[in-house]
Amino acid sequence: MEHPVNLVWNKIDLKKLKFNVFEWFDDRWFLLSSGDFEKKDFNTMTISWGSMGIMWNKPFVQVVVRPTRYTYEFMNRSDYFTLSSFSDQYHRALNLLGVKSGRDGDKIAKSGLTPVKAPTVPPPVFAEADLIVECRKIYWDDFKPENFLAQEIHRNYSHNDYHRVFFGEIIGIYVSDK
Ligand SMILES: Cc1cc2nc3c(=O)[nH]c(=O)nc-3n(C[C@H](O)[C@H](O)[C@H](O)COP(=O)(O)O)c2cc1C
């Protein structure tokens, strides 16, 4: 897979963002990365559930991670995480990163994607991404089944592996100049 050299990320004004958050989560998906790129101690996984908005007067992203994911360990011990978004041509790679675990081998190498240093935070982003989000972890909580008001929600948890919710303050959203 081709990837650009001399990558430049341009920070964009959040209020001028012109994307549909439903399409970006539900159809495009994101790679959620946590850990430290320079220490070669990071992991990434595909996500399609989450949200973006304003909380405590801060722009934020909410992601949900099941405790069974290898990424969960990195999310718990890292202060930052990133999201990387890709055009359709990388869908197959994102699918692989969403079915294989980093615990069982170098799935990132198998995906053909290239982790690179993020503009300001330790976790990587990906050279092939066309948009990236840098986040500082500001809150977490675990879903409590006794609070599920809609009974159908339980169907998502046949193994009682309730997601942990992480809020990340958005430090920056950047688009690639490629
Ligand atoms: C399209 C798609 C969306 C996913 N969304 C989520 C999600 O929002 N939260 C989650 O915990 N797992 C989600 N997964 C599953 C993880 O990506 C998957 O279990 C992955 O293999 C975990 O990798 P890891 O063990 O290396 O962390 C999704 C998978 C796919 C294919």
- Residue 161's domain comprises 9-176
For the question of whether the overall pTM of this predicted structure is more than 0.95, the answer is: yes
Please identify, by atom number, the ligand 1 atom nearest to the C-alpha of residue 95.
Answer: 31
Q: Which of 31, 59, 28 is CA-nearest to residue 115?
A: 31
Kindly give the number of the ligand 1 atom that is closest to the alpha carbon of 65.
Answer: 11
Asked whether residue 3 is domain-assigned, the answer is no
Query: Per-residue pLDDT for 1 more than 50?
Result: no
Is residue 38 one of the residues assigned to a domain?
yes
At 64, is the secondary structure helix, strand, or coil? strand
Decide: 17 and 173 in contact? Cβ < 8 Å: yes
Ligand 1 close to Cβ of residue 76 (< 6 A): no
pLDDT band, residue 3 (cuts 50/70/90): low
* Between residues 178 and 102, the one the model is more confident about: 102
Note the pLDDT tens digit of each residue in 13-23.
Answer: 999 998 899 99
The answer to whether residue 129 is domain-embedded is yes
Q: Which atom of ligand 1 is nearest to the CA of 100?
A: 21
Neighbours of 127 (CB within 10 A): 18
Overall number of domains in the chain? 1
Contact between 21 and 52 under an 8 Å Cβ cutoff? The reply is: yes
20-57 per-position pLDDT tens digit: 999 999 999 999 999 999 999 999 999 999 999 999 99
Q: What distance in angstroms lies between residue 45's CA and the mean position of ligand 1's atoms?
A: 5
Q: CA–CA separation, 133 vs 124, rounded Å?
A: 11
User: Cα(87) to centroid of ligand 1, in Å?
Assistant: 18
Instruction: Convert the pLDDT of each residue in 117-133 to its tens digit.
Output: 999 999 999 999 999 99
Tell me if 154 is assigned to some domain: yes
Residue-level pLDDT at 6: 75
CATH number of 28's domain: 2.30.110.10
SS3 call for 26: helix
Q: Is 70 in the pocket of ligand 1 (CB under 6 A)?
A: yes
